[in-house]
């Protein structure tokens, strides 16, 4: 199972738990209000427990939405650094499937025009490095 599908299944379970919590909170508030006329302590506790349950569910929903937003923000770019074997010029570009360090890329050097670019590094740019470029 891919990580995205795995994360989505957790989100669905989390949302289901939040929904059940809200429903439980509403029931507790309703039961507490029904017994409020008698002035019993149990009805007051049920009412407050219902309010607390709904507040916790709202906080959980807020955290769920914030987490989902942060997941979309942190996208990393994987880049390849090529170096010309003739003149030593370095060039950076997005990584392509099947590349590995030491592979002859078959691209022309921008400086000397030689067809001898070799892959020296493959690394992941962090969001901070991406904003600097």
pLDDT in tens, 23-48: 999 999 999 898 877 778 888 899 99
Would you give the DSSP letter of residue 10? H
Assign domain 77-132 to a CATH class: mainly beta
- Residue 124 tokens read as 């992941």
pLDDT confidence bin for 49, thresholds 50/70/90: very high
For 81, counting Cβ atoms within 10 Å of its Cβ (0-12 exposed, 13-18 middle, 19+ buried), the class is middle
pLDDT confidence bin for 79, thresholds 50/70/90: very high
Instruction: For residues 83-94, give the mean pLDDT.
Output: 89
- What is the model's pLDDT at position 127? 64
Does this model's pTM top 0.85? My answer is no
Is 19 within 8 Å of 51 (Cβ atoms)? no
- What is the model's pLDDT at position 69? 76
CA atoms within 13 A on the CB side of 6: 3
User: Above 80 in pLDDT, residue 110?
Assistant: yes
- What is the model's pLDDT at position 48? 93
Of 44-53, 81-90, 119-128, which range is least confident?
Answer: 119-128
Percentage of residues in the chain with pLDDT exceeding 90? Answer: 35
Rounded Cα–Cα distance for residues 90 and 2 (Å):
35
């Amino acid at each position: 199972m891919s990580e995205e599908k795995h994360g989505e299944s957790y989100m669905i379970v989390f949302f289901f738990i939040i929904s059940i919590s809200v429903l439980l909170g509403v029931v507790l508030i309703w039961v507490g209000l029904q017994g409020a006329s008698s002035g019993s302590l149990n009805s007051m506790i049920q009412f407050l427990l219902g309010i607390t349950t709904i507040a916790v569910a709202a906080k959980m929903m807020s955290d769920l939405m914030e987490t989902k937003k942060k997941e979309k923000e942190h996208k990393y770019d994987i880049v390849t650094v090529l170096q010309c074997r003739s003149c030593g010029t370095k060039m950076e570009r997005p990584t392509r499937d099947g590349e590995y360090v030491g592979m002859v890329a078959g691209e022309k050097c921008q400086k000397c025009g030689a067809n001898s670019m070799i892959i020296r590094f493959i690394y992941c740019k962090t969001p901070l490095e991406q904003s600097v470029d």
